[in-house]
Amino acid sequence: MLQLRDYQEDALNKLRASFANGHRAVMFYLPTGGGKTECAISLLDLADKKGNKSAMVMDRRILCDQTSKRLGKYNIDHGVLMAGHWRYRPEKPIQICSVQTLEKREGFPAIKLLVIDEAHSNRASIIEFVKNYPEIKVVGLSASPFTKGLGNTYTDVVSGSTTKELVNMGMLSPLRVFIAKEVDMTGAKKIAGEWSDKEASERGIKIVGDVVSEWVKKTHEIFNRPVKTIVFSSGVAHGEALSKQFAEAGYNFISISYKDDDEYKEEVLKDFAKEDSSIHGIIATDILTKGFDQADVLIGISARPFSKSFSSHVQQLGRVMRPHHSKESAIWLDHSGNFLRFYERWEDLYNNGVKILDDKDTTAKEPSLNDKEAAKCPRCGALWPLKTDTCSHCGMVRVKKNEVQAISGEMVELYGQKPEKYSSEYMEKFYHGLIGYLQYKGKNINRAYHLYKEKFKVAPVWKKKAGEFNNDVINYVKKSNIAFAKSRK
């Protein structure tokens, strides 16, 4: 039996309130992994119980199959309106529909409710249908409703939850992002404002060696072994070049594309889904952005630069953030430059969700070399994504932004670093610095033990001796003193 989570129930209540306020086409936003399909199934089931017919439309066979299986899991009877499908039962009140089949039929079933999967795709036939049948209530599902023109079809948007809330609930894995040598798109040709696939693929091939070497470095540095990975390439040729380079390094990465038949792709993904799969990674352009929900993928590699497609960027990030018992966090290796290009928009989406449907079709601002260099820690190569003077990786205190140096060609962490993940060297120096500073101020040096434990959440294991102290130590002691004084008041 289908049972929704509290936040999903709240989201559906917001959706009903929107309909009650006069909206008949509403965009329903939830981050990837938030359970949009379960919410949709609940709507379809409720419509059936009220005696109304409904349909859910999607643009890929594999998505129709997946949704049909999910309905079967909850014992909800339905038909699948898709050529050659074994569950073709057009008389059933709930229909799972392939949009291609509907377009060939030149008509839609007589329904009261239409649920549109991946509504940000803004397919012309769907838009026309919504326009021509104003008596039908429409729900558009999307984790990235940022396509130009959505506001012309959907008059309201309901945000079911935010990525931050789902991460805090354990429904999504926290994200750690590293950045390295990018695909150089300087002067590249654009089509409708986006870099062409051909140019992106040709330029991406030039750094396949960097992509492979950085993956080998990070997978062993973080996990001590190869782990399941997905790679977003810039095109078919780029994907094949990456697959070959990984093979030469001794790893099994399979490239799939629109050129491969559906049966082959299905077999590859089925093999990759096995816990003991011999496949280390899957490489594709856009195939993995829809209908790929494998939770045990620990690393995602971005090697397809986008000039303005924030929607694609968000969809790709969502592929690695599903929670799994094997991961503390999702690792994202950025060779495209997309994370910096869309950083402000991602932070807003992460924290606030979607409040309005922005009808602007804007190209992302390209960060300057100075912007990128100013973000890097000169000691360890990690990046400061937030406005702070202390590197959360190694503890380096930044005095002046213009003193920060770039580390060319080396992958550096950009986002999602855990404050407790300090290096052993830094923790030892910090402890000795605390003792040295307290001694210098004439204070009880035993307090260093408590300050250290307060900061690192573990007791110090280092020899008790005074050492040199820096601004990081001084600021932390002052911060602790202020907090204590406020608590006394």
- Token pair, residue 57, equals 């439309």
What was the pLDDT predicted at 340? 86
290 three-class SS: coil
257 neighbors 205 (Cβ within 8 angstroms): no
Residue 384: inside a domain: no
CATH number of the domain that residue 235 is part of: 3.40.50.300
Domain that residue 66 falls in: 6-161
Give every CB contact of residue 321 below 8 A, 6+ residues apart in sequence.
Answer: 31, 32, 33, 163, 167, 172, 173, 175, 330
Q: Which of 144, 161, 178 is the last residue of a domain?
A: 161
Which helix (H) or strand (E) segment holds residue 27: the answer is strand 25-29
Instruction: Check whether residue 215 and residue 334 sit in a common domain.
Output: yes
What was the pLDDT predicted at 215? 95
Q: Which of 126, 161, 196 is the last residue of a domain?
A: 161
DSSP annotation of 398 reads P
Instruction: Check whether residue 353 and residue 212 sit in a common domain.
Output: yes
Instruction: Check whether residue 154 and residue 171 sit in a common domain.
Output: no
Instruction: Check whether residue 176 and residue 312 sit in a common domain.
Output: yes
pLDDT along the chain (489 residues), means of 10: 91 96 95 92 95 91 88 94 88 91 71 93 86 92 90 92 92 88 91 90 94 94 94 94 96 93 89 94 85 89 93 92 90 91 90 81 73 60 61 57 41 55 80 92 90 85 86 87 77
pTM across the whole model: 0.76
Residue 43: inside a domain: yes
User: Which residue reads 């008509």 in tokens?
Assistant: 107
Instruction: Check whether residue 146 and residue 285 sit in a common domain.
Output: no
∠ at Cα 252 (251, 256), nearest 5°? 140
410 neighbors 402 (Cβ within 8 angstroms): no
Hey, what amino acid is at 146?
Answer: F
Instruction: Check whether residue 241 and residue 363 sit in a common domain.
Output: yes
Give every CB contact of residue 431 below 8 A, 6+ residues apart in sequence.
Answer: 448, 452, 460, 462, 467
